[in-house]
Structure 1
């Protein structure tokens, strides 16, 4: 079994991971930086462990500066400095976000390229109107976001055009086109339509009209010429200025949530939640795909007209999505190929921040944007990327990894951004973010499928006091700016540790006994409020909590898969069970056949919510049905009966794990204690095995050992990586401990502490059982220096235990740095200490919340945040023979 020899490529990657595994970050530009600012900040980012930087112009920067000659010259200078420092650059492709607008340049001088939308109204009278058009998703984020999207800060529509009018009787019988009988009368804020003739009492007319948003800077993503112009005015200027840096330093392009706005209006009705984009090509392509005239196809989107409605909707939205993808992603992909750049980025993810497919942006209908067919969009990318919101477990990395594997790749980029959770104003973010929270989330993301985590963000400036405006004041533009956190100097340890975890998982094929079906046809036919959304989320969340290895499969992956014995082999993975979560429709007959074959061969098929049917209505007719997704106990029982030759991990619910094989056939196991207490973990593999531990904190190996089983005591937030193989001797029961048991020889350091801020003299007495925020420093964010002296009667080994630290600490003993810690348990091995007096100094960093939220509407509860020491430090005095391993 390979060890950690100096020529072992794996160990080199693990010890010093390259940029692809290291954290990446958006570097928010609020003004044009000077040379010294570029040099100083980029060097700082590199020194704190970042490998990749993407410059992003934000709302605080005047829009007219974006892509100006001055902007491009500063951009060139910054990337040249990145080249000198060994950093990788990514091209973030727009101003703020919503790729395609180029800060308004795409539609400037070409207004016909701005977003044109399709609206409708159903009436039984002789006329009607489209009125009260709103963009709640945009305007709900505040006036400055609205002004970023709209000239004048609000949507104004004009150039109204009748698309179709459909006359229908009771139950949508007797449908006929009556477009020739409709007259459009444009008006302020909308339009009226008049019906020439009488309407029978029991009949209605649905009128479809389109209009261009005259004030929008967003493009019509159905128009190939809009995508081409975006490349011309928004991307080629970078290539002209930075071509000498492509692709060696500037290596990839990253797009961010391309899509139109989500409009609603007073007369909106039916299954579709927002307006659609419209272009003449849509009419032609939809009529070809559905075999219906345009008006009748549109009517099927709104109302259930019978057995053919599901097929019409699926064909319509598939056509609509394909036109958007080809019109926008196609030109962007061609630009990347011309300049040797990898193409990546993410579309809008309506599940962001959770597991339910439509639980993140619950007010929108993702069918109107690139936001449903994730597998189809990924075909344009060279590297998969997804979005994640806040620091909680969620679906995104697992879905990203699944999408990548469907296209012959593996793993994904994950962008993490923070929105406010304890106060109003989502852009106010989380200045209260702790390094322990950041580290835990990065570990979760890597274990779920992330290769690289993109932090949102590093800031050029921390903003200004007395200005509570969201987004315009950089301080409240999706905070925190990590480099302005008092604990920033602790970031390098987090970056190194999580990069090593990512490198460890690179050569890794996960064990996936369960496959979860991605119900695309159901999402298109039923819409985002259907039960498939929460059912899909419930299954994925439960499988993650067990934890049970799983991956997500689209229809093509299943159709192309091979049934071997009682397993489905798809995308290079083996599945013993498949889940159909709330899937009312399956589009491909090949999938129906393959599922039946899988069940006949002994595979398990679990169905929740509804009985799946084809688009024509034929039932699937096999599988075990659950009315609701099973709870954890039931699901644990189900998966316990699946064939499994992988290492067995027995642990409490707070422990997460992932298991897979590397290219040489060895098992890799990652175990993380995601809880707040010590956890006991047992690992077994057959009758015996040999194993290596890969220490992510130090990047150095532990000796290879043989074992019959491993009993592991994991302290809170501890992470363990194992590489193992069975059949190499029975070995013995091996105990690995990272916890420190209480010991009789203990000194509690509860009194005689002094405190001062790093820029304050003199020091003053302070209690260490409550934070400094309650002792006269409510709005202080920074480093607090605690000092005390103690005497040891005898020489001994000593471990410092800090039961309460908010949020990171550097420990100095007798003027020498002996350790640093930015996550629980806060324990530092002090080594062997001589008898006599010693001087202990603790430099504690809190978060920026108390400083930056003071006297703002965003302080929320609790405020002020706990800071500094909150429990008395303890010294464990241990004879050398009794010394335990410490985390």
Structure 2
């Protein structure tokens, strides 16, 4: 990842006008086959022209695994990297085939069966004999047969080396203490096994009311996924998967190839016929795990295992929390630690993202609801991030969500800030998620990018740009590139407008970079609660409720860890942690804490005048505490927090900096931050369809600059007592202001809407003609409904609307296009007036003299109607295309 050059390095305004690659959109470049040199030249030049700053080459499922990392692949990789460098593009190494880092396209486990994933399964019976059978990976199977085929040799899930790792006799119900649990591991054996199941036998007979719980490990003999608990697996992955790329790139490392990006390292999430208890999936096993768990819990491995699936009395929550903490630490060090040391030895940056169970959701586990994330690198986000040099997260679809906020939080906790957000689209019109969203518009993606920047993203990472757009009339997901999590944005008809999106959003990101966010509220990330209680506990939904409630009130926040609180300072009733200042700490249904130090910090903070609120369940255990202690809180809410609760919390806090108020129900997005010299920065964005008005005040008066993200210009300073900012649909404003001591008797009004004479508006309804492309014949068309309803159902591309209009009065005219699907270029008398990719579609035509004029509107839609044709993915209706309301000519008011 490009080293971030700050405003001190290149100048505050220069960075805004010409953002570096760190702020520009980046993209996965999907290779579906090994590209020829001319393809590399053409596509990379196109990406550069469209405003992309960084490319990551990713081999996808359409490419043969035999081709991945082959000599021709490595040759093409170096050629592409060299071309990218000459174009001024940055390049990153996406570290694997398809996704799930660590397998190197299956090469990691070739001739190294010992590195294949090994899991623990369990069964509880009131009998001496039992079995483990029916093992299956439901999470993988939901992705379809092609995904199963590349993860498992022969598409078969098979197992070997069945071993009893722990066996315990215990009461069937009501275990009051671990003293009632008897370890009988030495008397329990696997007696029969095959490739799909095993039988075990206990040399004894459980007494009445007793249950035998047996934990059996097995290694998959067919999985290409690795055992992430083994550092030697990561070392082998580096040897066969990463070193060949680095060696092929040679002197192109570290510039332009400056980083390696990992993606969702995780073993399988297996279920089986006998699964029961608190843990929802199998978990990895390695010979080093028992000692790590015993050290972490102070208990035997066997008893600690039982606590994962059964209530074993008062120690249950502590044992679970400490078990998963030890398990996660072992995995973090074995995989991420090995990768980091390798990256540093090669002089490059390590980044990437783990599985995020909250993807597309505000609830901590509202995304991947079918998995138990405790078995993967998927809960201890602060600990995982400590091994990265730069933070990256994953996001799904085009809605506000938790990922960037949590990503920014862990980055700041580890001495950095902000994050890269990979954004992919899963289908909404069909159950086949990989069919994607070819109906995506530039307006939708722009709105999402701006929201992500307000939530903590520095760089928007596209998933992705495509080498090919695949095959017609073939709905097969993945292997047909067209349905490999579309869209491939460079095959969208609106792709030529991407530079507008890239320039504007990069400037917004660069603008935010220059200030520290104002975050009055800290939300404690309840790691040990998540470990102990599992993903279905209320802490997950309480986190989502607090996040959404605070944002709805225009209040920013950040997550902090217990380690952050342990090192925090408290000054004047404010808590300083992770480089931020907080007036309040929120505990979202926290039942388990790691340390009593957290209680001490919160008590000192509250005594100093700070605010501590909690919601949901109350504290039950502190892992290093001898006795149960309570949290000293200012307010506890037993229910899920609502709007009234959030409002009450905010009213209890002191105000700092400028006040930004919006009196409508739906408020614009806002980001507020401060510089070290007294200046403040504000971003306001209206992602809605109606006008929204914000009122800004700051003491007795303030001076304000307006920074245009569209043009990169900065206007002169004006002084105001009060400023009204009118935001039309999709409007964005970047403002920089500071308080002035004297009262300024001036009311300000900021709006980009042209002042027009609506009473003299001329609707342009009739006499339009249309051509589906530059070489097609023109035919009459209505501009009050899309072309998809007028005989061009499957046309995806740029359609041309033409009108001969007569101007009667000389005036300065504005052309208003009320409904465009989805981007448009306006030409008048063979002269380009402008182009727009999102609302408002208003164009100043200048002063027109009376007479006849030629008007052309070049409108591009999405690829959905063409690419979903003859597939099950089209849905119940066609994608809207072209004009859907009559254009208007409106004179400007003199």
Give the alignment's TM-score, normalised by structure 1: 0.97
1:8 CA displacement: 7.5
Q: Is the 8 A contact 1:800 1:829 kept in 2?
A: yes
1:743 CA displacement: 1.8
Q: Is the 8 A contact 1:120 1:206 kept in 2?
A: yes
1:489 aligned residue: 496
1:727 CA displacement: 1.4
RMSD across aligned C-alpha pairs, in angstroms? 1.4
How big is each residue's C-alpha offset from its partner over 1:145-169, in whole Å with a ceiling of 9 and x where there is no partner?
A: 0001100113111110110110112
1:885 aligned residue: none
3-state SS, counterpart of residue 280 of structure 1: coil
- Residues 604 and 6 of structure 1: CA distance in aligned 2, closer, same or farther (over 3 Å): closer
Counterpart check, 1:870 vs 2:881 = no
Q: Is the 8 A contact 1:706 1:730 kept in 2?
A: no
1:323 aligned residue: 330
Q: Is the 8 A contact 1:798 1:832 kept in 2?
A: yes
Q: State how far apart, in whole Å, the 1-side matches of 2:885 and 2:743 are.
A: 45
Matches for 1:504-653 after TM superposition, within 5 Å: 504-613=511-620, 614-615=622-623, 616=625, 617-651=628-662, 652=664, 653=666
1:171 aligned residue: 174
Q: State how far apart, in whole Å, the 1-side matches of 2:153 and 2:678 are.
A: 59
Q: State how far apart, in whole Å, the 2-side matches of 1:700 and 1:389 are.
A: 33
Q: Which shows bigger deviation, 587-596 or 649-658?
A: 649-658
1:809 CA displacement: 0.3
1:798 aligned residue: 813
2:351 aligned residue: 344
How big is each residue's C-alpha offset from its partner over 1:788-829, in whole Å with a ceiling of 9 and x where there is no partner?
A: 011112221111100010000000000000010111111111
Matches for 1:231-630 after TM superposition, within 5 Å: 231-613=238-620, 614-615=622-623, 616=625, 617-630=628-641
Which of the residues 779, 797, 805 maps onto 1:764? Answer: 779
Which of the residues 20, 24, 27 maps onto 1:25? Answer: 27
3-state SS, counterpart of residue 336 of structure 1: helix
2:160 aligned residue: 158
Which of the residues 56, 59, 67 maps onto 2:58? Answer: 56
Equivalent pairs counted in the alignment come to 875
1:742 CA displacement: 5.6
Q: State how far apart, in whole Å, the 1-side matches of 2:651 and 2:10 are.
A: 37
Q: Is the 8 A contact 1:22 1:50 kept in 2?
A: yes
1:266 CA displacement: 0.8
Q: State how far apart, in whole Å, the 1-side matches of 2:883 and 2:822 are.
A: 9
How big is each residue's C-alpha offset from its partner over 1:159-188, in whole Å with a ceiling of 9 and x where there is no partner?
A: 101101101125236211112322212134
Q: Which shows bigger deviation, 647-656 or 62-71?
A: 647-656
Q: Is the 8 A contact 2:473 2:869 kept in 1?
A: no
3-state SS, counterpart of residue 804 of structure 2: strand
Q: Is the 8 A contact 2:386 2:414 kept in 1?
A: yes
Q: Which shows bigger deviation, 740-749 or 16-25?
A: 740-749
How big is each residue's C-alpha offset from its partner over 1:716-751, in whole Å with a ceiling of 9 and x where there is no partner?
A: 000000000001543310111122466212111000
3-state SS, counterpart of residue 93 of structure 1: strand
Q: Is the 8 A contact 2:693 2:726 kept in 1?
A: yes
How big is each residue's C-alpha offset from its partner over 1:383-406, in whole Å with a ceiling of 9 and x where there is no partner?
A: 111000000000111111110100
Q: State how far apart, in whole Å, the 1-side matches of 2:631 and 2:691 are.
A: 47
User: Where does structure 1 lack aligned partners over 5 or more consecutive residues?
Assistant: 882-887
Q: Is the 8 A contact 1:799 1:830 kept in 2?
A: yes
Q: State how far apart, in whole Å, the 2-side matches of 1:6 and 1:637 are.
A: 40
- Residues 788 and 362 of structure 1: CA distance in aligned 2, closer, same or farther (over 3 Å): same
Which of the residues 202, 205, 208 maps onto 2:209? Answer: 202
Q: State how far apart, in whole Å, the 2-side matches of 1:249 and 1:319 are.
A: 38
2:851 aligned residue: 836
1:77 CA displacement: 0.3
1:373 CA displacement: 0.3
1:671 aligned residue: 684
Counterpart check, 1:180 vs 2:186 = yes
1:821 aligned residue: 836
Which of the residues 35, 38, 45 maps onto 1:36? Answer: 38
3-state SS, counterpart of residue 860 of structure 1: coil
Q: Is the 8 A contact 1:706 1:728 kept in 2?
A: no
Matches for 1:62-73 after TM superposition, within 5 Å: 62-73=64-75
1:756 CA displacement: 0.5
3-state SS, counterpart of residue 135 of structure 2: coil
Q: State how far apart, in whole Å, the 1-side matches of 2:714 and 2:9 are.
A: 14
- Residues 6 and 402 of structure 1: CA distance in aligned 2, closer, same or farther (over 3 Å): closer
Q: State how far apart, in whole Å, the 1-side matches of 2:595 and 2:300 are.
A: 24
Counterpart check, 1:101 vs 2:111 = no
1:586 CA displacement: 1.0
Q: State how far apart, in whole Å, the 2-side matches of 1:570 and 1:151 are.
A: 49
Q: State how far apart, in whole Å, the 2-side matches of 1:828 and 1:801 are.
A: 7
Q: State how far apart, in whole Å, the 2-side matches of 1:77 and 1:8 are.
A: 31
Q: State how far apart, in whole Å, the 1-side matches of 2:102 and 2:16 are.
A: 38
Q: State how far apart, in whole Å, the 1-side matches of 2:156 and 2:775 are.
A: 49
Q: Which shows bigger deviation, 792-801 or 766-775?
A: 792-801
Q: State how far apart, in whole Å, the 1-side matches of 2:607 and 2:648 are.
A: 22
How big is each residue's C-alpha offset from its partner over 1:610-650, in whole Å with a ceiling of 9 and x where there is no partner?
A: 11242343222433111223222431232133111221111
Counterpart check, 1:734 vs 2:719 = no
Q: State how far apart, in whole Å, the 2-side matches of 1:728 and 1:809 are.
A: 47
2:3 aligned residue: none
How big is each residue's C-alpha offset from its partner over 1:479-512, in whole Å with a ceiling of 9 and x where there is no partner?
A: 0000000000110000000000011011210111
3-state SS, counterpart of residue 226 of structure 1: helix
Q: State how far apart, in whole Å, the 1-side matches of 2:596 and 2:16 are.
A: 45
Q: Is the 8 A contact 1:356 1:536 kept in 2?
A: yes
Q: Is the 8 A contact 1:794 1:835 kept in 2?
A: yes
Q: State how far apart, in whole Å, the 1-side matches of 2:313 and 2:609 are.
A: 36
Q: Is the 8 A contact 1:535 1:628 kept in 2?
A: no
3-state SS, counterpart of residue 543 of structure 1: helix
Counterpart check, 1:787 vs 2:802 = yes
Q: Is the 8 A contact 1:654 1:674 kept in 2?
A: no
1:662 CA displacement: 1.9
Q: State how far apart, in whole Å, the 1-side matches of 2:841 and 2:886 are.
A: 12
2:715 aligned residue: 702
Q: State how far apart, in whole Å, the 2-side matches of 1:654 and 1:839 are.
A: 41
Q: State how far apart, in whole Å, the 1-side matches of 2:619 and 2:356 are.
A: 25
3-state SS, counterpart of residue 155 of structure 2: coil
1:48 CA displacement: 0.2
3-state SS, counterpart of residue 29 of structure 2: strand
Q: Is the 8 A contact 1:671 1:720 kept in 2?
A: yes
Q: Is the 8 A contact 2:613 2:633 kept in 1?
A: no
Q: State how far apart, in whole Å, the 2-side matches of 1:221 and 1:639 are.
A: 44
1:782 CA displacement: 0.4
2:48 aligned residue: 46
Q: Is the 8 A contact 2:702 2:719 kept in 1?
A: yes
Q: Is the 8 A contact 1:507 1:663 kept in 2?
A: no
3-state SS, counterpart of residue 676 of structure 1: coil
User: Where does structure 2 lack aligned partners over 5 or more consecutive residues?
Assistant: 1-6
